[in-house]
């Protein structure tokens, strides 16, 4: 196993006193940022899904020429990862790395993710002899579905990763980081190379569109009905995910805010723009 150089940003939150020490004991060379607990969060808010909060991690990683950067949220149940070049590995990409590892020893396993994840993830799970299930967004919902299905692994875009393989099935980001370090230390590849064979896609981040609570579910239903009549392939497990030959679009009501959540992906930037424009215009029309 090769010795890894790891930068850890605990964001002055609960991972601070624990994670860097664990990674040292695992044999890593650890550079630790903001590991003293301070609820005022003097450096940045501990949310590893927001790129600006990863800036210190990325600049330290580049300066130190490290193999990987790892960040945690406030209660260390969500993980953020950057590769050796300072590029962010998003939740669905991370789950792909974990899924390949789990499926190597447990072919045929069920792996669960959410409606916001890339089509690449679901295709890749199938390609590596797994059974993917697309489920509702929300860590409690994913956890529950994993129990029902006997799934060995689950994960969300937000960085919640659930290992029932060699673990207890809940979202422990320090454990997930340990699994990633194990995979990387046993591999001859750099982190950026682990998914080099995945097709390139173009996608948007999550787009939030303000929409009053009292109409948001109705708007999703109207959008769904409109596109259903045009015979598109629609998954309505959580909002509306519409699949095209060369991409997909998601429209769902936020669980927590008076807003709709939109996300888009396609095989080209041009087509991505087209899909986004077509769906967004309909959404705006039904909100009015």
- Yes or no: say if 41 and 13 are a contact pair by the CB < 8 Å rule: yes
Q: 170 pLDDT band (50/70/90 cuts)?
A: very high
- The 10s digit of each residue's pLDDT in 58-84 is 999 999 999 999 999 999 999 999 999
Tokens representing residue 78 in the block: 């969500």
Task: Select 202-287's CATH number: 3.40.640.10, 3.30.300.20, 3.30.310.50, 3.40.50.2000.
Answer: 3.30.310.50
pLDDT digits (tens, 9 = 90+) for 16-47: 999 999 999 999 999 999 999 999 999 999 99
| Residue 197 confidence (pLDDT) | 96
> What's the pLDDT at 22?
99
CATH topology of domain 5-89: Alpha-D-Glucose-1,6-Bisphosphate; Chain A, domain 3 (3.40.120)
Cα gap 125→265, rounded to integer Å: 18
Q: Which long-range contacts (CB under 8 A, 24 or more apart) does 216-222 make?
A: 216/253, 216/254, 216/258, 216/259, 216/260, 217/253, 219/253, 219/260, 219/283, 219/286, 219/287, 220/251, 220/252, 220/253, 220/260, 222/286
Predicted TM-score (pTM) of the model is 0.95
User: How high is the mean pLDDT of the chain?
Assistant: 97
Q: Once rounded to an integer, what is the mean pLDDT over residues 109-134? A: 98
E strand or H helix at 273: helix 269-287
Place of tokens 């945690």: 72
CA–CA dist 121, 98 (Å, integer): 11
- Please determine, for residue 7, whether its predicted confidence score (pLDDT) is greater than 80: yes
The pLDDT, as a whole number, for residue 231 is: 87
Q: C-alpha distances in angstroms, 271 versus 100, 152, 163, 261?
A: 29, 35, 35, 20
Percent of the chain with pLDDT over 90: 97
CA angle centred on 29, ends 27 and 22, rounded to 5°: 55
Quote the CATH superfamily of domain 91-178.
Alpha-D-Glucose-1,6-Bisphosphate, subunit A, domain 3 (3.40.120.10)
Beta carbons within 8 Å of 207's beta carbon, 6+ residues apart: 261, 262, 263, 264, 280
Q: Do the domains at 5-89 and 91-178 have one common CATH topology? A: yes
Confidence of residue 126 (pLDDT cuts 50, 70, 90): very high
Contact (CB, 8 A) for 155 and 162: yes
**DSSP tag of 149:** H
- In which band, very low, low, confident or very high, does the pLDDT at 255 lie, cut at 50, 70 and 90? confident
Residue 93 banded pLDDT, cuts 50, 70, 90: very high
pLDDT of residue 1 exceeding 80: no
- What pLDDT score was predicted for residue 184? 98
For residue 248, give the nearest of 229, 270, 232 by alpha carbon. 232
**Residue 212 pLDDT exceeds 90:** yes
Across the range 269-287, mean pLDDT stands at 97
147 to each of 18, 100, 160, 183, how far by Cα in Å?
Answer: 28, 20, 16, 25
Q: Write down the domain spans for the chain.
A: 5-89, 91-178, 202-287
Task: Please report the pLDDT score of residue 288 as a whole number.
Answer: 85
């Amino acid at each position: 196993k090769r010795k890894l150089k790891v930068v850890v940003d605990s964001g002055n939150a609960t991972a601070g006193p624990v994670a860097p020490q664990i990674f040292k004991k695992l044999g890593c060379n650890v550079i630790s940022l903001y590991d003293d607990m301070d609820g005022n969060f003097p450096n940045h808010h501990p949310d590893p899904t927001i790129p600006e909060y990863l800036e210190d991690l990325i600049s330290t990683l580049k300066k130190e020429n490290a193999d990987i950067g790892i960040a945690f949220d406030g209660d260390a149940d969500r993980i953020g990862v950057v590769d050796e070049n300072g590029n962010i590995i998003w939740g669905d990409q991370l789950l792909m790395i974990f899924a390949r590892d789990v499926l190597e020893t447990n072919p045929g396993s069920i792996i669960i993710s959410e409606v916001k994840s890339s089509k690449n993830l679901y295709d890749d799970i199938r390609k590596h002899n797994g059974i993917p299930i697309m489920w509702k967004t929300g860590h409690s919902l994913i956890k529950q579905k994993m129990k029902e299905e006997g799934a060995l692994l689950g994960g969300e875009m937000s960085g919640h990763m659930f290992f029932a393989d060699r673990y207890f099935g809940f979202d422990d980001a320090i454990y997930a980081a340990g699994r990633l370090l194990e995979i990387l230390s046993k591999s001859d590849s750099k982190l950026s190379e682990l998914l080099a064979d995945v097709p390139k896609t173009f996608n948007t981040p999550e787009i939030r569109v303000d929409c009053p609570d009292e109409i948001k579910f109705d708007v999703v239903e109207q959008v769904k009905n409109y596109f259903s009549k045009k015979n598109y392939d629609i998954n309505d497990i959580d909002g509306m995910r519409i699949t095209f030959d060369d991409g997909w679009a998601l429209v769902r009501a936020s669980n927590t805010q008076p807003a709709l959540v939109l996300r888009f992906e396609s095989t080209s930037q041009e087509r991505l723009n087209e899909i986004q424009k077509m769906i967004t215009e309909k959404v705006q029309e039904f909100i009015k």
